[in-house]
Chain A
């Protein structure tokens, strides 16, 4: 599920960036829709990541419940495991339960082995440099959506852009 979310997030970001080079200047409407979609996908992706990390960290008594009632139940319990800051980030809860239901086939065991670190949470495809010739409005708008991946609470540099495979088979949503 978060694989799809990550793909849509990457797709949205690349579309946002290609908007800037389009003739006629920045299309506000489209960039708004793209950033909304990107944010929704990002929230799903982050939530899924956090849930997997939370799952690892759970104390033994709770573990059986969490392990048995895999993805769907965990997402229902999510309000309790998330910190208030992270709750603010996700505003699509009802949708997630439905989406998790559909897409819970992905191998989350793979990810649970990952050591929890800040880098794991950050998407690995954000560009390092921003183009210089932004207008103020563009800059504010895009900075807010693209670079603010942790609610602006830390000032870490964005990751370098790495090749992200986008030519996957299309999955109809």
Chain B
């Protein structure tokens, strides 16, 4: 049987109780990201909030590692804004969060909405000065006449307080909607990409950015493709890739020229003519691109499949995995209910042997590259009792439905998993359904 890894929930957190929430749609999770050590997990939501979870490990008596992720910090990153010039509202939804590698005691992350990127510093405070000479404990100044001795304040322990403060605001550089941010391996620069342009920033400089890719045509009526995602290479600080709505990926080298409109490599697979339909354009649009940790491969996600590309081979991917091929015959209905436009993300595990992506009905897929196996799992309250191993799920595409299979027509297309993340070192995964976050951990026997 294909049960190559068993997961059990470590944390189940219901982020929305519609009956009490004042703004039910604001709690929809829009991005999930582990930091570089995996100790912290950040989520962003439609309401502009960032919630950070911290891993607490404890050694159980049965010698089973059990991780728990508890809320570490919550803050409002972005607020809704109004562009008066264009009469447009700017959504506060957090599109992406990216962590900076840790340099000192504080943690830093970049969070972005459609127009503005912010650098946040998250720091701990576990002591505070007490015993001021001139002030009372509540801050009021003491009467000068009563001060007869010199008292030097000392630091005393206090309850841990986690503070988030905005250190930089990178604004006004994007005409179109930002879809990606990516921190460079040089730890000094990062890129931000919108539909038509990619800008390069220095983390210390907010009033200037360099435009490195511009695919806007002189005449907008000639527009045929947009940028859908962009990422820096994990080790080569001069290299980045960007994907397009036409299913192509371009790799660019910043050493070649200041403006990287000309790609160094173009990754494109010829279309299969037998699959042509009205919706071929839409389903070939790439929704996510991610480099492997070792930097030798990249993975792309389009509507129906996940493709692994070798950076040295441009004409076709080295591996292709069908995520939910049974949807190919339903594209018309999915166009009608707008599901065909859903942008699924994908992620690698720590050693690049397994990739993961989401699907509908709160299903998510794990594709094992080394063992050529795949499994469909479900993230839902009903199927996730604490410490229970997740059961593989099967979708029946047609014909006779076997026991425990679910038919395509019974799938709930409102329950979609767009965002998933994998701990950089351990087999711990974070899966976001519409408004709930699930964290699963591999069961160690």
> Which B residues are in CB contact (< 8 Å) with A25?
83, 86, 88-90, 114, 177
Given contacts A33-B281, A95-B276, A141-B223, 9 further A-B contacts (CB under 8 A): A24-B90, A24-B91, A25-B86, A28-B195, A29-B195, A32-B224, A32-B226, A33-B282, A98-B276
Which listed segment binds B: A36-44, A69-77, A79-87?
A36-44
Q: Contact string, B220-235, partner A, CB cutoff 8 A, digits 1/0?
A: 1101111010000000
> Which A residues are in CB contact (< 8 Å) with B224?
32
| A37, B89: Cβ atoms closer than 8 Å | no
Instruction: Tell me if B432 counts as interface (CB < 8 A to partner A).
Output: no
A37-B278 contact given A25-B88, A141-B223, CB 8 Å threshold: yes
Q: Find the B residue at minimum CB distance from A173.
A: B332
Instruction: Tell me if A144 counts as interface (CB < 8 A to partner B).
Output: yes
A94-B276 contact given A32-B226, A33-B281, A140-B221, CB 8 Å threshold: yes
Q: Quote the shortest CB–CB distance from B288 to chain A (angstroms).
A: 13
Which listed segment binds A: B333-341, B350-358, B386-394?
B333-341
Instruction: Tell me if B330 counts as interface (CB < 8 A to partner A).
Output: yes
A30 to B221, CA, bound (A): 15
Instruction: Tell me if B279 counts as interface (CB < 8 A to partner A).
Output: yes
Instruction: Tell me if B87 counts as interface (CB < 8 A to partner A).
Output: yes
A-B contact count (CB 8 A): 90
How many B residues are at the interface, by size bracket?
A: 35 or more
Instruction: Tell me if B257 counts as interface (CB < 8 A to partner A).
Output: no
Q: List 13 A-B contacts (CB under 8 A).
A: A11-B336, A28-B177, A28-B223, A28-B226, A29-B285, A32-B226, A40-B281, A94-B273, A98-B276, A133-B87, A141-B220, A143-B221, A172-B331
> Which A residues are in CB contact (< 8 Å) with B226?
28-29, 32
| B333, A172: Cβ atoms closer than 8 Å | yes
Instruction: Tell me if A156 counts as interface (CB < 8 A to partner B).
Output: no
> Which B residues are in CB contact (< 8 Å) with A155?
none
Interface set, chain B 78-97, CB cutoff 8 A to A: 83, 86-91, 93
| B335, A8: Cβ atoms closer than 8 Å | yes
> Which B residues are in CB contact (< 8 Å) with A141?
220-221, 223
Interface set, chain B 267-281, CB cutoff 8 A to A: 273, 276-279, 281
| A33, B285: Cβ atoms closer than 8 Å | yes
A137 to B282, CA, bound (A): 22
Instruction: Select one of B195, B196, B276, B335 contacting A11, CB under 8 A.
Output: B335
Q: Quote the shortest CB–CB distance from A167 to chain B (angstroms).
A: 10
| A137, B220: Cβ atoms closer than 8 Å | yes
A173-B273 contact given A33-B281, A37-B335, CB 8 Å threshold: no
Q: Contact string, A133-163, partner B, CB cutoff 8 A, digits 1/0?
A: 1010100110111000000000000000000
Interface set, chain B 160-184, CB cutoff 8 A to A: 176-177
Instruction: Tell me if A171 counts as interface (CB < 8 A to partner B).
Output: yes
| B278, A8: Cβ atoms closer than 8 Å | yes
| B219, A23: Cβ atoms closer than 8 Å | no
> Which B residues are in CB contact (< 8 Å) with A173?
277-279, 329, 331-332
> Which A residues are in CB contact (< 8 Å) with B88?
24-25
> Which A residues are in CB contact (< 8 Å) with B221?
140-141, 143-145
Instruction: Tell me if B245 counts as interface (CB < 8 A to partner A).
Output: yes
Q: Quote the shortest CB–CB distance from B325 to chain A (angstroms).
A: 14
> Which A residues are in CB contact (< 8 Å) with B329?
172-173
Instruction: Select one of B196, B220, B278 contacting A140, CB under 8 A.
Output: B220
| B335, A29: Cβ atoms closer than 8 Å | no
Q: Give the top 5 A-B pairs by smallest Cβ distance, nearest first.
A: A144-B221, A24-B91, A173-B332, A25-B88, A28-B195
Max count, chain A CB within 10 A of own CB: residue among B228, B278, B285: B278
Instruction: Tell me if A3 counts as interface (CB < 8 A to partner B).
Output: no
Q: Quote the shortest CB–CB distance from A19 to chain B (angstroms).
A: 11
Q: Quote the shortest CB–CB distance from A157 to chain B (angstroms).
A: 20
Q: Contact string, A12-34, partner B, CB cutoff 8 A, digits 1/0?
A: 00010000000111011110110
Instruction: Tell me if A59 counts as interface (CB < 8 A to partner B).
Output: no
A40 to B437, CA, bound (A): 39
> Which A residues are in CB contact (< 8 Å) with B219?
140
| A29, B282: Cβ atoms closer than 8 Å | no
Instruction: Tell me if A62 counts as interface (CB < 8 A to partner B).
Output: no
A25 to B84, CA, bound (A): 12
Instruction: Select one of B93, B114, B223, B335 contacting A32, CB under 8 A.
Output: B223
Q: Find the A residue at minimum CB distance from B195.
A: A28
